[in-house]
Structure 1
Amino acid sequence: MLRIKGLTKVYQGNTKAVDDMTIDVKDGEFVAFIGTSGSGKTTALRMLNRMIEPTSGTIEIDGKDISRMNPVELRRSIGYVLQQIGLLPHMTIRDNIVLVPKLLKWDEKKKNEKAKELLKLVDLPESYLDRYPAELSGGQQQRIGVVRALAAEQNIILMDEPFGALDPITRDTLQDLVKELQQKLGRTFIFVTHDMDEAIKLADKICIMSKGKVIQFDTPDNILKHPANDFVRDFIGENRLIQDSPNIRTVEDAMIQPITINVNESLNNTVKLMREKRIDTIFVTNTDNKLLGYLDIEEIRDGIRSGSELIDIMERDIYRVRLDTKLQDSVRTILKRNIRNIPVVDENNVIKGLITRSNLVDIVYESIWGEEEAAGVDSQ
């Protein structure tokens, strides 16, 4: 439990950057601090690891007042991701990942095991550990930068607008990665952002700040349904406010049955199934129905001509979402990335459904017509 009580920071000239902030963060929660420029969100974050010392108030971690802790030891016990997720170019990926564990004097075996474990979490081969950052793509470097914050096994991870300078697609991908890792590892994340869409997508709770004060601290759904005042309403924007339940449905409510093929099947059988089902993309699974990748008709045609096996030509890098993902997030992703469909998986990566551009369009039309019909009934 992270308990913040009466936290205040006053700068010269009696300017209150943070004014009497009081919130509780449960273990394993993802909390977003959000507000306009100068709202105090970054100052509040930096007081949590004493990079900035508070003027008054208390911060307790599991009942311990952090003001009584050694600040260096405190910072080593809390993960911190800067606005620029930069890897050290002269160090290998392995050395970049275990930077903090090295400071904590972990033995070599433990450091190596942790580096391998984290690399596996972001679907990169173990051979990358001995490469240098310049040998990886920009997206791969960003993924390493994210997992590096998890290497020392700290229970609290602070992130200060880590994706602010990234292009929309890379940003969207890393948001998904951060949320997936946070849920999988059960860590507490405090995340500063100025982007309400990002906060809604990632956070279990959102702390909206203005002029140093906490204006509203609640779940995204409650904030969208019941904004505390006009400031929150204006900050959220009318287009995001939830008017009725269809807008907060999860992908599980809207998904359709996917067509899959076992990885050991022949390409000819794959074509036969695709023709029968009249589809141009098929998802590949193992015997446990875990999602391995996908194939489209062009790849299959080329594969048959070259005499390849299904496993050799399938596309493994596939965007997927979990069953509890909000439907509005999937709509946003489909529009941003211009993709046709998104497979839905459970916590074990077993494919459970499919969200397609066409069935999302049907839902949008249904909601529009539904509203019109309701308006017609009300007017009579």
Structure 2
Amino acid sequence: MLKLEHLSKVYRGGKKAVDDLNLDIKKGEFIVFIGTSGSGKTTALRMINRMIEPTSGKILINDEDVTKKNPVTLRRSIGYVIQQIGLMPHMTIRDNITLVPRLLKWEKDKKNKTAEDLLKLVNLPESYLDMFPSQLSGGQQQRIGVLRALAANQDLILMDEPFGALDPITRDTLQDLMKDLQQRLGKTVVFVTHDMDEALKLADRICIMHDGQVIQCDTPDNILSNPANQFVKEFIGSHRLVQEKPSAKLVDEVMITPVTISLEKSLDEAIRTMVQKRVDTLFVVDGQNILKGFIDVESITSERHRTQSVADAMDKDVFYVKNETKLQDTVRRILKRNLKNIPVVDADHKLVGLITRAHIVDMVYDTIWGDEDIEEQSTI
């Protein structure tokens, strides 16, 4: 899909920002460039859409040499998301999302439908389309920035530290969103970050750069288990190498069966189920077992005088993970968000399991810190 062949950028004075970069990126891959400041990662990214012109080498998209294309036409065919978001403050969210389709002279109905469909993908209400960027939070604005990159249905999306300025929880949420959209829509993404945890979470392959060269480009698991040299080891950090050794374990291996209730049930039935099953949270599903939300003791207590319906009282904002997610990443999210549990869904959003904070405590100690504890005890 995307090939970089002997790509180099030399600035005045002979400084090589990128030195003979060769990379073959397959359709649907999520590639992350990471490195120290000045390593060449952003220069490499920006040469792909010719925001920076290469000194030498070729950039091939679907076997077409983009260095021979009109730069403006090229940029309109590639999605681009930056940290500063870059939304037009005087334009509505609808107009911001459909900026590139408008430049491509799409019909009005097609543009509007695209904006509406995309907004649904990120769980924002349609009323937001007629609002202005200043009326949205930073995280919401960055969601719109991602949607704008998807609006013209470009196959290739470039992202330059898009979540770097956000708070940790918002950043974590948008990382999940981007990975989900990328997989569902089959987009090819080239992503620049300085955050190793972000790279490990998102990438199909990580390209670690230093002094304009790719030192190692491989899957996260291979890099963690077989760093190419001492520089890579130090860049990753020994604490990650230790932490990620059990990363092959997936949520599927340890999840338990969640207690569920259907949408049409009453709050009285929900209470009876909680008492019978001795739980304080029920996960709400429809007739196809698709996760719709959750209801807990607190929500029942606060909503009981207003409604008798589970559907009306449930919280729809439920944080979940997909099956085949690494357990280590899920544990980190539980701790970061201070969650009691995380439901697990499949590709069709059907509820298939549950990871609880209480359930994983012993497993986490045994898997991650068990050996260390034993060694420490043996020295006492």
Instruction: Please give the root-mean-square deviation of Cα atoms over the aligned residues, in Å.
Output: 1.9
Alpha-carbon distance between aligned partners in 2 of 1:349 and 1:168, rounded to the nearest angstrom: 25
Cα distance change, pair 117–211 in 1 and its aligned pair in 2 (3 A):
same
Aligned length: 377
Alpha-carbon distance between aligned partners in 1 of 2:18 and 2:246, rounded to the nearest angstrom: 37
Alpha-carbon distance between aligned partners in 2 of 1:133 and 1:225, rounded to the nearest angstrom: 43
Q: Percent identity?
A: 62
Q: Counterpart of 2:296? A: 296
Counterpart secondary structure, 1:348: coil
- 269-278 vs 133-142, which moves further: 133-142
Alpha-carbon distance between aligned partners in 2 of 1:355 and 1:278, rounded to the nearest angstrom: 17
Alpha-carbon distance between aligned partners in 1 of 2:353 and 2:46, rounded to the nearest angstrom: 41
Q: Counterpart of 2:230? A: 230
- 192-201 vs 318-327, which moves further: 318-327
Q: Counterpart of 1:34? A: 34
Alpha-carbon distance between aligned partners in 1 of 2:233 and 2:134, rounded to the nearest angstrom: 44
Alpha-carbon distance between aligned partners in 1 of 2:159 and 2:282, rounded to the nearest angstrom: 37
Asked if the contact 2:243/2:368 (under 8 Å) is kept, the reply is no
Q: Counterpart of 2:201? A: 201
C-alpha deviation, 1:148, in angstroms: 1.3
| 1:147-196 CA distance string (max 9 Å, x none) | 11100111100000011111100100000000000000000000000000
C-alpha deviation, 1:36, in angstroms: 0.4
Q: Counterpart of 2:77? A: 77
Counterpart secondary structure, 2:106: coil
Counterpart secondary structure, 2:275: helix
Alpha-carbon distance between aligned partners in 1 of 2:193 and 2:307, rounded to the nearest angstrom: 50
Question: TM-score if structure 1 supplies the norm length?
Answer: 0.95
Q: Counterpart of 1:246? A: 246
- 127-136 vs 212-221, which moves further: 127-136
C-alpha deviation, 1:373, in angstroms: 10
Q: Counterpart of 1:58? A: 58
- 366-375 vs 22-31, which moves further: 366-375
Q: Counterpart of 2:133? A: 133
Alpha-carbon distance between aligned partners in 1 of 2:196 and 2:215, rounded to the nearest angstrom: 15
Cα distance change, pair 48–321 in 1 and its aligned pair in 2 (3 A):
same
Cα distance change, pair 331–373 in 1 and its aligned pair in 2 (3 A):
closer
Q: Counterpart of 2:158? A: 158
- 39-48 vs 359-368, which moves further: 359-368
Instruction: Tell me the amino acid that sits aligned with residue 221 of structure 1.
Output: D
Instruction: Tell me the amino acid that sits aligned with residue 194 of structure 1.
Output: H
C-alpha deviation, 1:375, in angstroms: 7.6
Alpha-carbon distance between aligned partners in 1 of 2:373 and 2:334, rounded to the nearest angstrom: 28
1:186 maps to 2:186: yes
1:111 maps to 2:111: yes
C-alpha deviation, 1:245, in angstroms: 6.0
C-alpha deviation, 1:243, in angstroms: 8.2
1:210 maps to 2:243: no
Q: Counterpart of 1:149? A: 149
Q: 4+ residue stretches of structure 1 with deviation over 4 A?
A: 242-245, 372-376
Structure 1: tracts of 5 or more residues without a match: none
C-alpha deviation, 1:142, in angstroms: 2.3
- 24-33 vs 292-301, which moves further: 292-301
Alpha-carbon distance between aligned partners in 1 of 2:36 and 2:285, rounded to the nearest angstrom: 45
1:219 maps to 2:224: no
C-alpha deviation, 1:134, in angstroms: 3.2
Asked if the contact 1:225/1:242 (under 8 Å) is kept, the reply is no
Q: Counterpart of 2:306? A: 306
Q: Counterpart of 1:329? A: 329
Cα distance change, pair 281–72 in 1 and its aligned pair in 2 (3 A):
same
Asked if the contact 1:9/1:19 (under 8 Å) is kept, the reply is yes
Q: Counterpart of 1:2? A: 2
C-alpha deviation, 1:364, in angstroms: 1.3
Question: TM-score if structure 2 supplies the norm length?
Answer: 0.95
Asked if the contact 2:246/2:368 (under 8 Å) is kept, the reply is no
Cα distance change, pair 138–308 in 1 and its aligned pair in 2 (3 A):
farther
Structure 2: tracts of 5 or more residues without a match: none
Q: Counterpart of 2:92? A: 92
